[in-house]
Every structure is written in C-alpha cells, then in structure tokens.
Structure 1
C-alpha cells in the first residue's frame, strides 16, 4: 500500500528546492521529442529529395537509353540491307552482255517471257548469294521498261521474288531453306529451289494507288530520266504490304535498275518481314510487365512540331491497345516533359529516335524514319506511385507505432526503478539492508546484487583466494587492487614468479604496484595471447621460464593471476617448430610459407617492392640414381644451408617438396636492390660444393624463375603461377640459370596452348569443310577442273596455313591428309550427284608430298569413290619436301588416276628439281609470278620458258591467281592451258560460272587468233 501511495504523488520538490517529475514522464517526454524529430526529418527528406519525380525521370531515362541502343541496331540492319550497289552493277553487266550478244531485246522485255526468264535465270545465283550475305528475309527483281502509268491494273510483270524465312540460321547447302514466291517455271527449274504455296510465275501490278513495293522508285527514276545514280532513287515502303495469297507482311527497300544509257528497265530490292523485324525490336526490354511497344514509323512532318503524324510500318508489342491502334497513321504530341501518344484514350510516354537511311539530296529524303519506344504511363510510372504510397504509410505507421512504443517503454523502464527506490527507502527506515528484488534488467540487477553482497564479498574474497592458491597443482601467484579504498594484496610468491624481488621498504600502494608491474613487462620479452593475457619470458641463472599473467577488472577491483606455464609453452613451441619447419633443411615447409606469406600480403605496406623466387635443383635425380637417396638428402641439406646463410634477414625461405625451394624477398625500395641480393645468392650457390662418395665434388646447380610484386601481380597465387612459368622456361632452355617472368612470353605460350587445343578439337570433331574454285580452259572458257580448298569454322583456325603449321608441330600431317581426301571427295561427290558441277571435270586435291595414306584408307576410298578417284589430280603443295616412297604409294593407290599437279611453281620446294622428279600432268604457276605479269618482262619470260618446256612433254600449264583483265590477257598471249583466279570465279560452296568479263576476253582472244 505504501508503494502505490508514493508512486501516485506525481511531481515533487527535491531537497535542493528544485521541482522534479516522475521517471515515467521524463522517459516518455524524451522519446516523444525524438519521435517527432525523426518524423519531421523523414517528411522533409522525402519532400526535398523529390523521390517520386526522380523515379519518374529515371523511368524515362531508362526508356530513352533502351530506345537509343535499339535504334542503332535497327539503323545498321536497314542500312546494310539497302546496300545493293554490287548486285545492281552485276545485273547491269549481265543485262548488257545479253543485249550485246543479241540474246535480249529490252523493248520485248515485258512481253517475251523467254527473254525475261533467260535474264532472270542468269542473275538468280547472284540474288541467292546476296540473300545469303544480307540479314534480310527476301530479295526480288522486277523487270519493266514501260511507263507504269499506262500499265493495266492486275497485269503481270516479269520478275523473281526469293524468300528466306530465317536469315540468321546457317545456310543449307542445297538451299532447302529458301522459297521462291514469284518466278517463271524456267527460273524455278534453273534454280532448283522449292516454290512457296502462294507461288505465281509473275508479279502483279496493282496500279499507282496500290501498295506496290517497286512502283515509286521506278516511276521517280523514269520521270526523272535517270539523272541520278540508282541508289539515290532507292526507297523503303512506308507501310507494310503482303503479296497476293500470302499473309506474311513485310516492308521492302527497292531501287531502279538503270543502264549506262539511262534506260530504266526494272527494280531490285530486298524485303524484311515484319515478324523478323519484331524479333529485332524486342518490346520486353522496354518494361518488365511486357506493356511496352516499339513502332517503326516514317513521317514527312517536321519532327520538332508540337504535333506530327507518322505512318506505321512495324509494331512490336504485346500491349493490346498498341496493337489495336489504326494500322497506318498515328499522332505524336510533344509536351514539356517529353513525347506522348494517345492510344485508345490512354496516354503512352514515348521516345522517338531518328533512323538515317537516305542521302540529303535523294528524291525521298523528305521521308524521315523513326523508331518509337512507348510505354503506358500508368505502367511506366507505377513504381514511383507505389513508392509514394509506401512512404506515406511509413510516415503514418512510424508516428503511431512510435507513440505506442514510447508509452510501453516508459512504463517498463520506470516501474523497476521506482520499485528498487522504495525498497531501499524502506530498508533505511528499518536500519537493515534489504534483499532487493530482481527486475530482469541487467544493470539494475547488477546494482542490486552489488549492494546486497558488498559486505560479505569483502570478508570472503581474501579467504577464497588463498585457499585456491594453496590447492593449485601448479605454481601460482596473485594480487588484488581496490581502487575505491587504495588497498593492495599480493601473495608471497608473486614477485618471485616474475623474477623480481619485493620492494625493500615493503610499502605498496596501488600506483606503486602498477608502476612495478609495468616495468616488469617492459624489461622482459612479453607477448599478448589471443585472449589478451600476457606471456612473460623470464631468463635467470641460464634457465628460461614462461609465466602467464591474467588480469581481470570488475568495478573498482582488479585481480591478477601469475601462472608458471614453462612446460606447456615448451611443448607448444616444439609442436609449432615441427609443424612449420622442414626437418632436413631447417627451412620453412610449404604450410608455414603459405601462412607467413599470406600474413604479409594482407599488409601490402610491409611488402614494398618484392620478388617471389621459385627454384629447382638440377642434379638431384642424378645423385639419387648414382649414389643413393642418403647422398641426395645431403645434397638437399647443403642447398638449404646455402639458402639460409646467403639470404638477408627477413627473407621468407622454404622447401616446398623434394627439390623445390621458394623464396620471398620483400620490403625493398626497387628491383635493383633485390637483383643484387639474388646475384649474391647465385654466386654463393655456384661456390657451394657437396662432397660425394670417393671424394668427388658436385657444385650446386639450381634453376630459378622470379616474378615481381606488385608489377606482375598483387596476388600470391598468381605470383606463384608466374614464377613457376619462368622456371618452366629455364628448365626447358638453359638449366642452372635464373630468369625473370615475362608477361609477353606467358601470353604467347597461352595463345599457343589454346591453338593446340583448338587444333585437337578440329581433328576430333572434323571441323573443316571444303569450297571449290573452278579451273577454266584457256581455249574455250569451259570448266576443266575444280580445286578443293580447305576451310574451318573455328575462329582461331580460319587460315589453312595455321592448320598446316600446327599439324607439323604436333605430328598430325597424316590426319590432315586423311581428312582432306575424305572430306573433299565426299563433298564433291555430293555436288556431282546434285548436278551442281560438271561430271567430267577433274578434281584437284592438295596433298602433302611427304605423306602417304595407309593401305586401309586407300581401300576404303576405292570402295566408296571408285569412279571419282579416276578424275582426281593429286596436287603437291610446297610446304613439304618430296618423299619418293610417299609419291610412289600415291601412284600405286587403288583406282589412282596417276595424275599429279605441281603446285605453286616458282616458290618454295616447287622448282626445277621437283619438276623433273615428279613429271606432273599439270604445272600450276604460282600467283607471285602471275601477279603483275602484264607489266613485268621477267615474269613473262619465266612463263614462256615453262610453257616451252611443258607442251612438248604433254604437260599443261595453269595460271594461278589471275585477278585482273590485263593479267588474263597476258597469260592467254603466253599460251597457258588453264586459268584460275578471282577474276574468273571465287571459291564457293557451290562453284559459280565464269565471270562474263573473263569469258569475253577469252572469246576475243581466240577470235583474234583466228582472224
């Protein structure tokens, strides 16, 4: 009853006359002030930082960044697709060639299907090549020489329309992935490509108002009398179109076909399916909820206007409102905070980026293309709105929770204090110290316990301490200091344990005792244990003792205990030494070296300039094998002793294994200081001698590799790897030396190792394929042979020269020979069965002059390609010198044609000696001689000499590397029999015909000879 009555008294006056208040009000008031301040700071920070506005702006910036990244990709895709200059030039040359030979009449191009089909069939392979080379889904050519304004709607126009539905996939060798949408039956038959389900022989003209993909460029050039180049009239369709009976929409780029005399005779162009463009414009990257949209649009309006209308070409979105927007036109509105679209009465924030496709002075340069990325504003700014709601809820929740918590905490804290206060007051009134209640608050309970046990502890502490000291099995000493009373208690043996006599006057105060204890610790070796205790080393009378001093302090009392731990410390030191040191050499072992170096690398300031040196004994195996392992151990011991005696103090030296040693020099200012220390060590090693049985001496020979810290690496494991690499180079080049690590050599070795791994993968997975380059007759231009050329799809092994170099290094020439014959025969046999090469043409296969395939491989080729082998010409390459036995084995192989070709005559091993030894059917003059032969009399004389030598002996001369018309004319004049080079035809998966210009030169050459 008294407790409740006193607690209810409220505010009172202290003895000093000051007004006081209950502890509850003090705690609650303070907590409320803190709460109000926190809430105000939170509200002010939210308002000042404008979190919502910043989040909205971040959302806009992220959208703009995505669109900016995407517009560059789309622009590159469209610009690359519209680069049709080479194709247009090729079609012009083919058309002129047919016109000049009388096979084509431009006036009858629209009406004579046979002539138009002939032209389309002639250019169709180049269309396929261009389709393969571009990231486009279709390519087309439309032939027309009449004014489109007078053509009837629905009339047929000759042309060809090819489509590749997946241009990013690897091309099929048989063009099985291509479809013919439009083209005559003759063209379909000539190409051998499957027709689509909507195939028609001609394209339909739908008038000037139709969505034609070729009428606008044609009409503009036709009306302009073709004053500009063809590419200036090029144009992209501004809206998607479909060809009849086909539901796949697309946009197309087309440009007119114009002959040098200004005749406009059609258009050539490419298409991009909208589905393909949608894949290239992934709307998912704009917004996580898939509510974004990409619009590929065009406009003729001023883009800086407040409002402008655009024409939609392609839409990529899953947003139903964006997809349901009217198909063609869309209105954009510019506001102060950006560009906006209104789709079905919903606001979409948009970012519009220009796509540059036309030259400034081009006829269609007023059509501006844009890529627009748009996201529904509610979706785009939803995160900022959610953050505002959450922050408001946090402010309100914080205020409510803070008030409730303050009330509860103030009550919980005030109640126990009031309880103890009134119990103490009651005890004072009764003249007896009470048993205080436990409040479950640590500080208050400690205060209560301290007050309760104060008197009893003072009486019992001394007795307990002495009893413990007497019962201990080890020598112990102790002391107690009381800072409140200034008393000092010390056991009789405490100072003797520490090797210090008692003060002569016997007087000890707290201050004097602390001074003596501090002096003892400073005058003797002292270390601190992990627990904070002091381990003192006491040396007296030639003996060493170890004393552990533990000190605890509680309130105003400090207690110390001194324990003799000599036996335990000596045992611990012995175990640590055995753990850390190599028994044979006395150096650190591997574990200790790792630990010590790890500690050093955690504090880079200690390292300064450092070097890690890895060393190997060179003669240990010889000593072990010759004299036995006991003498080998002496050799190792002598080496370790030399390392320990000739390295500066502080150097970390270790024996890692049998003959491996590692040293870490650290704490130097520069490399030269370390190099000087290493030089001194090397000199000492060279002078150090191990005496062998019989009295012979063996000088220590050791190889080493050194890596630098921090120049080479700041990581211990990396330095070890680098030092080991430098040691590896020494061991494999000049033993007994020391070499520093070279990053250039390391990277070169890594690249070489990677090339070796790639080469093994190439052999294992047969990662090669073969292209074929035609060899044409110099008399009539027909194909007389094909040369098989190795190619690889591995990035680092693109060059056949690299493959051959690795094959020589790794002794894999026979594997390359087998792969060459098997793969080239298999590929060429397939081309023959498909009718893609002449069946009577020869096949030139490059062979290694020093290698012959095993008999079982020859029998396998005979069983599979018996007929084809009789047309094979074995082409001896220049890389290897001839081996007579290998050459005879090639001649005697089953079904061998016995025909040889001497390759690259005039370079390498292909010289007169090889010519006499081989007696080839064909001699291929090296391209270094053919190149520039039209202006070099010396090269002309060489070819004349070999022709004069070869023809009487029934040998044929093939000119390699013909790249210009002048070179072709000259070699024809010099009388060669065969022609090969880029000017006639390039290597290809499916060999192409001879270039029209080259054929014309051959025909003119022989017509002039006849004349």
Structure 2
C-alpha cells in the first residue's frame, strides 16, 4: 500500500464570498439578457419590420381593391351586345330608307328613328350593368373638320343608384341628353342639365366622343370596334351638370366600315368611391385613379396624372395635378405632398388590349397614407418596449439581491461545519440539515463517497469483461504510456509495437496508423480506422480520445470494435443509394451526385439529361408475370451500365423510369454519337420470352441539353420529363429533344386547369334563364337555369363539365349548380324579374347526388323553392339508381324529374323506365327540320302517346322557326322552349310577339275548328 504524502499547510482563503458570487452571477445574467434582448431587437429590426408590415398590408388592400375595381371596369366596357344590336337596327333602318348616313348627324329629327329604336337597348344595358349612365352619339363626319359649336343627335341616360332594384316604370332613370319627343314617348324624367342634343367638343379632345371616333375614322375601321374602346383619361362634367364622372366609349361601325357614332357608359365619381371606401386603408388614407405613360411599375420614378381622387385624408389638389412617385420597395412608392411624406401602393388596371390604339395609356389604382400615420403604431411600440426594458432591469436587480442573500445563508452555515470537521481528518463530518434538498442530499451521501468509488471501480471492471464489443485503451502522460494488452492488436499494429514504449514512439506509431488506415470521422467526430485482417475482411475501430487537465495532464484513449455497426450502416447506405434490381443509383443518390457536379460547372462541358420509360413493361407483366418484368428491367439497367462511359450517372427512378446524365463532352455532336451507341446497344440486347419470341429493349426517352435548355438539374428534369411525355403520346420507342414550343402549349393546358380550380374555389359562374312556355296559352310555365362561365381559358359549360369528368370534381359542379342557380332565381323572383309561380329546371348530373348535410342546408335556405324544383337529367348519361333515389327522397322535394335530350342517347326506354320523369324534353336534333321530316313527326307522335298515357308532359326544345313551332304544337307537345320564343338571358325577355300570335291562332283553331 502506497504511503500518502503529508498534507501541505493550509493555504490562505482567497476569492469572493458566496453571497457576492451569486449576486454578481445573477447580475451578469441579467446584464447579458438585457444586452441580448437589445441586440435581438436591433438585429431583427423590429421597428423597420413593423413599418414594412404596414406597407405590405397597404399593398395587399390596394391589390385586392384593384381586382374588384377591374371587374367593374371590364363589365362596364363589355358593349359588344349593345353594339351589335344598334348596328343591326341601323342597318335595318338604312335598308328601309328611314334614315340616311349623309344626314344622320345633321339634326335630331333626321336621327330620331334610330334614337327611338336604340333607346330600349340602352335602357336594357343600363339595367344589367353596374354603371351610372349610358349614351349614344351620332356622327358620320371627320371631327377635325366639324365646327366646334355644332350640335349632334344623342341619348344620354343616367341612373344615380345602379345597385338599387330597378323601377318598373323607369322612374329611377333620367335623361341628360335626348330629343324632347323621345323624352315624352318614354315618360322618363329629365336631368337638371338636360338638353336635346350634345355640343361637339364640349368635353374637349380627351372626352368620350373624339378619341374613339376619330381613331376609328382615321384608321379606316380596320380593327374591331372594341379595340378602339377608350376611357376618359380625365374626369368631366356634362355642361350644366354637377356630377363628376369618367366614361368608356367605343365607335359604332357598320359592316361596310362606316363609322357613324359612339356608344359608351358612364361611372360617376360618387359611385366609384362607394366601391372604393377609403376607410379600409390604414388610418383613412386616400384612393385615386390615375393614368401614366410608364409601362413598368418597377421604374425608379413613376410619373402619373390622377383622374379621380378621394379626399378622405383631406389632401387638396385637383384631379389632373401630376404626381411623381419614387419606388421605395417591391410593393410601395413614396411621394411628397404639401411638405408631407406619403406612402403609396400602385396596382395596374388592365383596361386595353396590347395592340389597341390607346394601349400606351396605363390606368392605375393608387392607395396612399401619410407616413406619420402609417408608421404611428411602430413608433408607439418602440417607446413602450424601451420603458418595459428599463422597468425589467430595475426589478431584476432587486430580485437578484434578495435571491443571493437567501441562497448564501445555508451554504455559509454548511461551509462552517465542514471547516470545523477538518480538525479531525480521520472522521467523516456529519452535516446538519439546511432545508435545501440538494445540500441535504449532499450531506447524507458524503460519508458513502469512498465506498461508492470503490464499488464503482469493481463494477466497471466486470462490465468490461462482459462487453460484447472488444475494447482497448491507453493513457498517455508526458513521461509514460500505459496500454491495454489488446490495444495494438486491435489496431493491426501488434508487429510494430516499439520496445521500449515511450511517449515519443507511441505518438509516431499513432501517426502511422492515421496515415495508413484512417477511414472517416464518426457522427461524434471520433476517428474511425479500417483495419485489414489476414482473412481478407476489414475491422472498423473507433478511437475516442479525451484530454484530462489537472495537476498531471494526460491523454486517455478508448478503442472500440465497431465492425458490426459500420457494416450494417454500409449495407443500409448501399440499399438507400443503389437499386437492388439493377444496381443503378436511386433517385436521391442520383440527385446528390448531380448536385455535386453542378457545383463545379467547369466539369459539365456539354451535357444532357436523358429521361426514359420502358414501353412494354405492363404488357410483359400482364402476359408473363412480374418475374419476367423484373428481368426486363434488370436487363435494361445492365445495358445502361455497360454501354455508357464510366463518368456517366445512371439511375432507376421507380418502376420503369430511368435517368442518365451525360457530361464532359465538347459539343452536342460528340454527345449525340454516344446516345446513338446507347440506342444501338439497346436494340441489340435481346431476351427470349417463354413463348420463344425475342424481346428487344424499347424505350421512350426525352433529352434536355445543358446549357441550351437549362442551367440547373431541376429545369433539365422538368424539360426531359416533358419531352418523354411527348414521345410516349406520339411515337414510342424513340429519344427526342425537348421542344420549348410544345412546352408552352402544355403550359396553356395547365393554365386551363388553374382556371378550373379557381372556378371551383370562388364559384366564378353565372346563370342565364330561358323561359319554358305553355303550348296552349304562351304563358311562362318554368325557367331552365343555364350555366355561363367567362375565364381566360374557360368559356363554355362543356369545357367545365369535361374537366370535372377528367378530374373527378363532378360533385363540386353539382353543388355549385344547385345552390348558385337557386340563389339567383329566388333573388330575381323577389325583384319581380321572373314569373313568381314558375318552376325552376336545374341540370343535374345523373350519377352524382348531394350529401345529407348539403341537402339539409338547401332545404333550410330554399324551402319554398323545393316544391317548384325540377331536376333535369341528361338522357345521354348513365343513371345511378342509388343517386336517383337519394334525389327523389329529399324531404320537401316535389319529386319532379325531367329527362333531357330525349332521342339523342342510347338507352331511351331504359332511362324512361328507371327515371319515371314528370317531363320529357325532346332533343333539338329531332325538333330541327321536323316540319318537313315525317319520320321525326312519327317519333314525336309516339312519344306524346306514351307520355300522355302516363301523365307525363312533353317539352319541345330548340324551336327556331315558325314552321317548327306549328308542327310540334300540332303533334301535341305540352311545353315549348327555343330561340324563336325567347333566348336565354340574365333577365329573360317576354315571349316573341310572332310566337305568341302562332300559339293564339292554333289554340283558337283547336276550340273552333270550323272557324266560326
């Protein structure tokens, strides 16, 4: 047993008291927290970020409002129907000699027949559009040669509240300009500024007459009338009027190119500001409409001229005062006004076609807020935050002092007892309780320390012996080295062990070990060595090194055999990176290898990504089984590996898809030669199928070139995939280059899908209603709701239904149709625009039914309409019995069904028996030409006999001529529908007088066959 060295004389006590240590530590922590908080506020730029958030919110509000405003402008400038109607009336009056182009603009009398005929069309347009006015001005001469004070025939109608329900007698309309005779005949009141004619150039060259008319006149009307459309780039007042407004107008052009006037609509400033509430801007800012000649909004300076300006924030200035906006961020501009800084967000309004004469004038919606108001919240928050930090610092100091005093007392007491026990070195002190759990635990465990150390050492030695992994170690000091018996043998250095083993020799040997067999660093940054074994295998040894500092510094190392763990990790990594069937890279390993190459573009040279798909795999799997399919895939992968340069990166993505990346070529010609060699090798590769036939590898591949097509892997993948898709859908078995033109066509299809998703999400559909009339009286019996859609790439219900079929979204179309059409129908009935007791025919998808929740919601919203609802099923669709029964058993539903397009499908009798409809709609294909086709007449007679015997009613749809109308009534149909009677419209027109006359005549003949 070693002798213990005598204790040295007790050193004098130095350092701080525990109270001071705790106090200074807490204060240091408090100071660090304070500094970190201050630094965090500075780094995170809290103030600027709050300011930026305020600007972003302003930009978002302006952007949302601009989209809403643009919809109002687009609806206002859609005047094609009005233009066509007036052109038709004009041509008819010219043919009848009622008017003459040479005198049309000379006086109101000469133009009165046309003004009188056009007035109903103008009133109808004013009713269906959200505009405050509509006008028609007649002129057939060059305006540059016309006297400025000359008068022109005109109609100018105004509705000061277009959102209110229309008056039945047009009591809510006023004439601003119109001949006195027309005012009297229509019984419409006149405005305070009324005059019978309009004075030329009363509004100047930028008004609503001169720009569109003169552009078309000088251009020879070579474009469509809508292309000459023009918005007034400054607000105006009709002479004698006090209502500020802007207007949109377009020329009237006859088919022969004659320009004979303009039509247009008006938007009053008061109406626009109702739809542009300044209160929604932060701190009540300002909205104004403006025009600029600058095409790019990202320019550093933006010169614009306000057209209309709100005054919510009290900004003075006229509407035509020019402003200079300077770009501040991606979403906002800044400008000075009356020595005050304003923050503005600018959003474009796309009102003109790109090639239109006025496309150079860009309209903008600008929302601005004074910078002081916009950033007021951020400034107040900064002040509050500073105050809170100071209070926190003061409270923290007081709490630190109290806590330090409380913690120091028991520790000082315990320290005194330990110092008292030092006098007896052979005794273990028994320390009194302090009331602190941790210190009391220390006191109770202190006497067991020596025994625990001894027990721990014994247990560790036993564990070392029982460990499944081989362990070895060393301890290196400045003057000595200790190693375990197995240390050098584990590291493969048993034959090289130096004798004597000195620290210098040990360090040299460890350096040799690292140079010879270093493998890698472990996740914990320990060195791993790959030690070759005599039997050819490899052992993997992890060496953990720890430096111990103290009175005698040393280095301790532990060597552990990790062979099993490393081999298992290698196996997992190999399975992760390599496809087990082909031996090629998997997707992630392929991406990782390619990403490393793209980090060094100098190695790429001319490169190409080839994406391929096996053509015959499904057929082989279905015919010979999946084992042969796997053999086909394996053969393909082996062919790729054997017939590509060593530097080529090959991968099997999944299933029958492969990727090959060629790189390092001088030009495309050299690389194409390699592709041709690969293609020839694939053709030569043959497998003998079980039936004895030879199977050649057939692939469909797409090629994307670097750097011609793209500069990154993601782009090349996308383009190669697209090229492969084109090959698979045209001529399989080839490798074709990516074509940017075809790609853009596919992009259009993608845009169509996006529009379809937008339609479903926001229910961007409207509904027109076509009346269904009684064949006996001509009275409206029902209306059919017909979907209308107008999106950039979607224009017809047929497109919508096709996409719904393809994408499995039929239920959403069914729900939108049922709820949306019912809501519009009920609202229009409440406004008196539709027959109050008429039925509503809704087109329903035969194999789709609403959920119980949707049915309950519909019954709650439209309980009365359920009783007058007719579900129209297209005869061409397969009926689903379960869906049919769910529709039939809706609580409160009348149970009325209509079989649509009867006669155009493939299972007429089966559908009749299955559906048992209340109404049968005879398809237009049978109605067309029925007046001359006896076979069609016989078919309808048979249907009438069958239906009437079962209390069903027949509807003849698609009636377009008087002869067809007379024939179907004579054959006994009950209800009538078609363009000859009334066209579908947002607000349906009454039955055509000619059709009513035919119905009355035939009904009279039925009751009075002798003509008495």
Provide TM-score, normalisation by structure 1. Answer: 0.48
TM-score (norm 2): 0.48
